[in-house]
Amino acid sequence: MTTAVVSSLVLLPLVAGPAAAAGGHDGRPAGDRPLRQLAADDRLRVGTAVDMAALAQDAPYRRAVGSEFSSVTPENVMKWDALEPRRGEYDYAAADRLVRFARGSGQKVRGHVLVWHNQLPSWLTGGDFSATELREILRRHITETVRHFKGRVWHWDVVNEAFDEDGTLRDTLWLRALGPGYIADAFRWAHQADPRATLFYNDYNIAWAGPKSDAVLALVRTLRAEGVPVQGVGFQGHLGIQYGLPTGVAANFRRFERLGVRTAVTEADVRMILPADEEKLRTQAEGYRLLLDACLRTRHCVSFTVWGFTDKYSWVPGTFEGEGAANVLDESYTAKPAYRALQAALAGRARPRAVR
């Protein structure tokens, strides 16, 4: 069976914005409400990464972003290479467009990302800077960026993917020049620039217990003991069904929450080896369900974000050859079993939440 015949629901006619969020006016039967409506009942933000070219050019895409989601994450336009392509020349235009869209749609913005080893401008990676210069460049980048969006970004992914799979710190430009202290510095600088934004450490392959997740836990424990303002941990949630689905995710989230931080699923997608078939799509749906379910079972899990929502626009085929179909809608915006699984999980949650 192809994805197109899994469901007859095509998500095109939904009305964007707060009107849709208010609920009940889009002609859908009860129980078939947009994700943001279902999540609002539970004070959970349900978000998506947004591709700004698609948002500008593709009206169905734009409508679905507005109607289905209550938070947005820029997929690329808040990364350093986009914000400062040439040294000292800042370009906030695309990021500002998303922030305005979010405001008009009653959505929060998850800022992504301040410190990462990817998507750095070439003037920076090829610059041959001293450690002192690099520290000042990083301080300035964080300060300028967070100040620019002050009051308009809800969560910041301050440090992204700083660990390797074995739990050692990843060998990056930042670690080599500045040592491990760059992580604490980054959180302190971001907090100074916008004390009201919630500051996250974000990584992949940490949704279940293991050396990497243990290392992030130890880092967060140490930072908080030192008074460093790390306030959340983002579990990206990039899964591939060929690797099997993780277990123990909710228990893992809870051990982070015991340190006093919020948790969030920040980049969920569940890829597969193509072509998709009915069984793979069922397993994919189970992958999405278990990530959302872990969030719903965890008292301070504040948001659940998918890394794109339609197979029409996805980073996966360009990165993993022969893989794809990772999103909850197919390329024609038709709901896959994964979308139904998210609806069902949101509609069926069973516990009071204590979201902070």
Contact yes or no for 166/211 (Cβ under 8 A): yes
Residue in 286, 273, 289, 163 with CA at minimum distance from that of residue 216: 163
Given the complex with ligand G3I, which of 86 and 356 has the nearer CB atom?
A: 86
The verdict on 311 binding ligand G3I (CB under 6 A) reads: no
Least separation in angstroms between residue 61's CB and ligand G3I is: 15
Residues 118-137, one symbol each (x = binds ligand G3I by CB under 6 A, - = not), give: xx------------------
Among 68, 84, 194, 267, binds ligand G3I (CB under 6 A): 267
Residues numbered 3 to 42 that lie near ligand G3I (CB under 6 A) are none
The verdict on 205 binding ligand G3I (CB under 6 A) reads: no
Q: What residue type is 118 in one-letter code?
A: N
Least separation in angstroms between residue 129's CB and ligand G3I is: 22
Residues numbered 100 to 119 that lie near ligand G3I (CB under 6 A) are 118-119
Question: What distances in angstroms separate CA 79 from CA 13, 332, 343, one per listed residue?
Answer: 32, 29, 31
Among 37, 67, 76, 327, binds ligand G3I (CB under 6 A): 76
Contact yes or no for 68/14 (Cβ under 8 A): yes
Distance between CA atoms of residues 173 and 152, nearest Å: 29
The verdict on 236 binding ligand G3I (CB under 6 A) reads: yes
Q: Which residues are catalytic?
A: 161, 267
Among 75, 84, 194, 311, binds ligand G3I (CB under 6 A): 75
Size of site (CB under 6 A) for ligand G3I = 8
Three-state SS at 74: strand
The verdict on 185 binding ligand G3I (CB under 6 A) reads: no
Contact yes or no for 291/46 (Cβ under 8 A): no
Question: What distances in angstroms separate CA 47 from CA 44, 110, 118, 191, 209, one per listed residue?
Answer: 10, 9, 23, 23, 25
> What stretches of 182-326 show up as alpha helix (H) in DSSP?
182-193, 211-225, 249-257, 278-296, 316-319
Given the complex with ligand G3I, which of 236 and 284 has the nearer CB atom?
A: 236
Distance between CA atoms of residues 43 and 193, nearest Å: 27
Given the complex with ligand G3I, which of 238 and 340 has the nearer CB atom?
A: 238
The verdict on 315 binding ligand G3I (CB under 6 A) reads: yes
Residue numbers at the binding site for ligand G3I (CB under 6 A)? 75-76, 118-119, 160, 236, 267, 315
